[in-house]
C-alpha cells in the first residue's frame, strides 16, 4: 500500500521501520525540530531521524494545517498511519486517504483514551497494559478497533521502559492490521465498555504523597518516570527521585520519615517504606541517595514532603 506515516517520538520508530520494510511510504509527517540538552540545540525528532535513514521524504509540521494537509493529500495515499504524532487530524485530511487513517494507541481501548495512556495506567496500578489499532475518527480515540493485544510488562517497569516494550509489540500489531486492510479482510469492531481518559501529565502529577501505601506511591513513581519526574520536597526544596522500589521487608516508618542505611535511603509511607537509591536535588546533578543524605546538615528530623 501507499502510506503516509505521522509520528514524532521514539515510540513511533519501530512501527515506521516495520511498515517501511513492506509498503511504499510516500512521506513521514512529524513535529518540527526541538531544542534539546543544556545548549538547547535544535534536534530532529526520532521519527524524522529514522525517516532520513530510510530515505523517506519528511514533512515537518507543528499541526496539520491547510499547508500540511495539501502536501499530504497531493501524495494520494491509500492509508494514513499515526503513532503519537502530537497533533489532531481533521477534515478534509481525515477522510483524504482511500482507507482513511488508523492509529496505534498504547492502551487497551476504550481504557485510557488520550495523551498519556501508559503513564496513567501505571499510576492507576493496572496489571494489564497493551496496544490497540483503531480507525481514526473526529472524537478522541473513539473509532472502531481493528485489533488489540495485551503486552507483558515487568511489574517494576517505569513508563519509559513500558513504552519501549509496547512500541515493539505495537509495531507488529500495526503491521498485521495494515496487511488485513491491504487484503480487504479488515473487520474493525466498535469499542466495548466505559472509557477512561489519560490527559497529559503536569509537573504536579509527579508529587509523591507519602501518606499513601507504598504500592500506590510506587505506582505513581513508575507512571511519572522519567517525565514529568517523581519528586518530593525537603524543607521547601524539590528533590527528584530517579530510582526507587518498595522495601516491604523493612520496618514501617511514619509517612515522610527518612532513614539511611548503608546502601539506600528509606522514606516512610502509609505502609512499608520506599527504598530510594538515586536522586537529583534542585539545580544539581543526579547522585546516589546515600551521598545526598550525608550532605544534609542537621538531617535528623527532616521529613519528605516538608
**Is 257 within 8 Å of 272 (Cβ atoms)?**
no
- The answer to whether residue 231 scores a pLDDT higher than 90 is yes
Looking at residue 259, its pLDDT comes to 92
Domains of the chain (ranges, CATH numbers): 2-183 (3.40.50.170), 203-294 (3.10.25.10)
| Global confidence as pTM | 0.94
Strand partners, 150: 130
Looking at residue 235, its pLDDT comes to 86
How is 229-285 classified by DSSP, letter by letter?
-EEEEETTEEEEEEEEEE-TTSPP--TTBEEE-SS-EEE--SSSPEEEEEEEETTS-
**Is 181 within 8 Å of 152 (Cβ atoms)?**
no
Mean local confidence (pLDDT), 205-215 = 97
Q: Is 237 exposed, middle or buried (0-12, 13-18, 19+ CB in 10 A)?
A: exposed
First-residue to last-residue Cα distance in the chain:
58
Looking at residue 299, its pLDDT comes to 61
- Give the model confidence (pLDDT) of 153-181 as tens digits: 999 999 999 999 999 999 999 999 999 99
State CA 299 to chain mean position distance.
36
Looking at residue 298, its pLDDT comes to 60
- Give the model confidence (pLDDT) of 9-37 as tens digits: 999 999 999 999 999 999 999 999 888 87
Amino acid at each position: 500500500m501507499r502510506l503516509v506515516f505521522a509520528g514524532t517520538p521514539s515510540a513511533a520508530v519501530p512501527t515506521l521501520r516495520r511498515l517501511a520494510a513492506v509498503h511504499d511510504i510516500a512521506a513521514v509527517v512529524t513535529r518540527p525540530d526541538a531544542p534539546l540538552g543544556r545548549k538547547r540545540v535544535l534536534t530532529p525528532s526520532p521519527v524524522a531521524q529514522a525517516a532520513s535513514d530510510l530515505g523517506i521524504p519528511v514533512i515537518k509540521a507543528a499541526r496539520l494545517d491547510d499547508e500540511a494537509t495539501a502536501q499530504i493529500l497531493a501524495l494520494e495515499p491509500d492509508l494514513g498511519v499515526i503513532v503519537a504524532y502530537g497533533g489532531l487530524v481533521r477534515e478534509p485530511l481525515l477522510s483524504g486517504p482511500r482507507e482513511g487513517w488508523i492509529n496505534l494507541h498504547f492502551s487497551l481501548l476504550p481504557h485510557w483514551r488520550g495523551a498519556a495512556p501508559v503513564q496513567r495506567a501505571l499510576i492507576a496500578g493496572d496489571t494489564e497494559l497493551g496496544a490497540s489499532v483503531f480507525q481514526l475518527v473526529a472524537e478522541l480515540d473513539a473509532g472502531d478497533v481493528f485489533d488489540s493485544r495485551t503486552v507483558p510488562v515487568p511489574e517494576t517497569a517505569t513508563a519509559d521502559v513500558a513504552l519501549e516494550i509496547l512500541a515493539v509489540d505495537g509495531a507488529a500489531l500495526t503491521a498485521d492490521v495494515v496487511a488485513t486492510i491491504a487484503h480487504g479482510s479488515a473487520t474493525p469492531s466498535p469499542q466495548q465498555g466505559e472509557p477512561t481518559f489519560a490527559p497529559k501529565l503536569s509537573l504536579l502529577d509527579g508529587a509523591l504523597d507519602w501518606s499513601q501505601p507504598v504500592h500506590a506511591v510506587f505506582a505513581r513513581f513508575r507512571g511519572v518516570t522519567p517525565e514529568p519526574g517523581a519528586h518530593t520536597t525537603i524543607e521547601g526544596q524539590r528533590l527528584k527521585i530517579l530510582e526507587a522500589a518498595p522495601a516491604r521487608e523493612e520496618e514501617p516508618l511514619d509517612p515522610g520519615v527518612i532513614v539511611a542505611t548503608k546502601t539506600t535511603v528509606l522514606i516512610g509511607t502509609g505502609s512499608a517504606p520506599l527504598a530510594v537509591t538515586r536522586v537529583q536535588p534542585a539545580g544539581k546533578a543526579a547522585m546516589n541517595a546515600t551521598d545526598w543524605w550525608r550532605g544534609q546538615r542537621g538531617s535528623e528530623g527532616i521529613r519528605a514532603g516538608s
